[in-house]
Amino acid sequence: MKIEAQFDSIEEMMGFAIRLVGGTTAAEAIKKQKVDQTAKTKVTAKEEAPEEDSVPEEGTQRAEDLPSEEETKTFTLEEVRASLAVLTRTGKQKQVKDLLTFFKAKNLTSVDPKDYAALMEKAGAL
């Protein structure tokens, strides 16, 4: 089997490669989280709008009491590495290095896995 693909830029090629293996770029992941969170908030508000005089049943949680997707989303080392690689290849080596320094790391493997979500959020803003 032979498959040929043509890309207009390295960014387009990297985006294709990341999606091909099931990953997402930092910007896409953050955008998807925000869209999903907004949609869930709207649905939850419509479905669970309590009457002003009603008291929630014991043992139930209201939507605002639940952790948001942004807080619970975890990233793998491979996802973070792919996103930072795209940034590096697009000429943002210094910004990537500054991000690692911000997280008190000399390289990506030195970043604490619990900081991956924050790192991806900051990388998405670049």
Closest by Cα among 107, 96, 81, 110 to 18: 81
Q: In which band, very low, low, confident or very high, does the pLDDT at 41 lie, cut at 50, 70 and 90?
A: low
Q: Where are the domains of the chain?
A: 10-37+77-126
Q: What is the mean pLDDT of residues 29-49?
A: 60
Angle between helices 93-102 and 77-89 (to 10 degrees): 140
Q: In which band, very low, low, confident or very high, does the pLDDT at 126 lie, cut at 50, 70 and 90?
A: confident
Q: In which band, very low, low, confident or very high, does the pLDDT at 101 lie, cut at 50, 70 and 90?
A: very high
**Please, are residues 99 and 105 in contact by the beta-carbon 8 Å criterion?**
no
Share of the chain above pLDDT 70, in %: 58
Stated as kind and residue range, the H or E segment containing 26 is helix 26-47
Comparing 99 with 22, the larger pLDDT belongs to 99
Q: In which band, very low, low, confident or very high, does the pLDDT at 9 lie, cut at 50, 70 and 90?
A: confident
Output the pTM of the full model. Answer: 0.45
The sign of the CA dihedral 101, 104, 106, 109 is: negative
Half-sphere exposure of 80 (CA within 13 A, CB side): 24
